[in-house]
Amino acid sequence: MLAIQNYLLPETLEEAYKALIEKRNNKILGGCGFLRMGSQKIGTAIDLSNLNLDFIAEGENIVEIGAMTTFRQVETSSVMKKYFDGILPKSVEHIVGVQLRNIVTVGATVYSRYGFSDFITALLCLEAKVVLHSGGEILLEEFLKNGVERDILIKIIIPKSNRRAVFKMMRNSKSDYAILNISVSKLDKDWKIVVGARPQRAEIAKEASSYLTNSNETVEEIEHAAMLAVNELTFGSNMRGSKEYRRSICKVLIKRAILEVLS
């Protein structure tokens, strides 16, 4: 069972951060979807609910998503549906059920860098950045690779563009985690191919993306790009699927996603 000694509802981010770094067992609360499933003892539970971090805002050149925004807000937002072929709503709409999506938050998901995450895989093909209270602005790609010292994720920033994007995943049943998820995006000639839940966390297939960017986008070249992605990324086995199975479906999902972007 989750045990909480003290509860703090800070009025400022500075107050929240100070409390977070004060003691190792002090914790930020997101929607508590995962926290409540564990049995840890939290010293001070820091609730960000009063800090106005549940927003989706459209600026002149960017779209911003606050850390306390829920998956359901992402799913139903007209701004999110308008850009990038609605890849972000599409990446979360199948996760368990509306009740769960009403509580789980963008900030907790991205900060925790979950390997299985559908949302992170979709976000990574959009050149997104994360904004941390202490660490400032960092490219999501770098954040996923290196992580950071204890910090608070405040918001996500996505450059606004006409980037086309498609998300695909394979799962055994609706309420289970994905066996593999992928996202593919294209802006002008620039392609990005991302694969997550391998089961390791999402990564851009650099060689495959660059090959496709410099290709004529023929079916043979698309198949070759999918093959390059499978060869350059590492895959593993777990209870959901073997690495061989993941490699096989990866090729198929990438090809389908590229053809969908081009359609």
Task: CB nearer to ligand FAD: give 30 or 225.
Answer: 30
The first and second tokens of residue 250, run together, are: 């990866």
Residues 143-172 binding ligand FAD (CB under 6 A) are 152-153
For ligand FAD (CB under 6 A), the number of binding residues is 29
Tell me, residue by residue from 167 to 196, as one string, x for binding to ligand FAD by CB under 6 A and - for no binding: ----------x-------------------
Q: How far apart are alpha carbons 182 and 259 in whole angstroms?
A: 14
Residue from 4, 9, 32, 249 that binds ligand FAD (CB under 6 A)? 32
Q: At what angle do helices 219-232 and 206-213 cross, to 10 degrees?
A: 160
* Residues in Cβ contact with 209 at an 8 Å cutoff, skipping those fewer than 6 apart: 191, 192, 193, 225
Tell me, residue by residue from 203 to 242, as one string, x for binding to ligand FAD by CB under 6 A and - for no binding: ----------------------------------------
Residue from 10, 19, 26, 28 that binds ligand FAD (CB under 6 A)? 28
Which of 26-34, 73-81, 202-210, 222-230 is the region at the interface with ligand FAD (rule: CB under 6 A)? 26-34
Q: How far apart are alpha carbons 202 and 181 in whole angstroms?
A: 8
Task: CB nearer to ligand FAD: give 9 or 259.
Answer: 9
Q: How far apart are alpha carbons 189 and 204 in whole angstroms?
A: 16
Task: CB nearer to ligand FAD: give 114 or 167.
Answer: 114
Task: CB nearer to ligand FAD: give 83 or 114.
Answer: 114
Beta strands in 48-132 (DSSP E): 56-58, 62-66, 129-132
From the CB of 17, what's the least distance to ligand FAD, in Å?
10
Q: Which of these, 157, 163, 160, lies nearest to 143 by C-alpha position?
A: 157
Does position 17 interact with ligand FAD (CB under 6 A)? The reply is: no
Tell me, residue by residue from 90 to 119, as one string, x for binding to ligand FAD by CB under 6 A and - for no binding: -----xx---x---xx-xxx-xx-x-xxxx
Amino acid at 53: L
The first and second tokens of residue 151, run together, are: 């910090």
Radius of gyration of the chain, Cα coordinates, nearest whole angstrom: 19
Residues 40-69 binding ligand FAD (CB under 6 A) are 67
What does the DSSP assignment read for 25-62? Answer: T-EEESS-TTGGGS--EEEEEEEGGGG----EEE-SSE
Q: Which residues bind ligand FAD (CB under 6 A)?
A: 27-35, 37, 67, 95-96, 100, 104-105, 107-109, 111-112, 114, 116-119, 152-153, 177
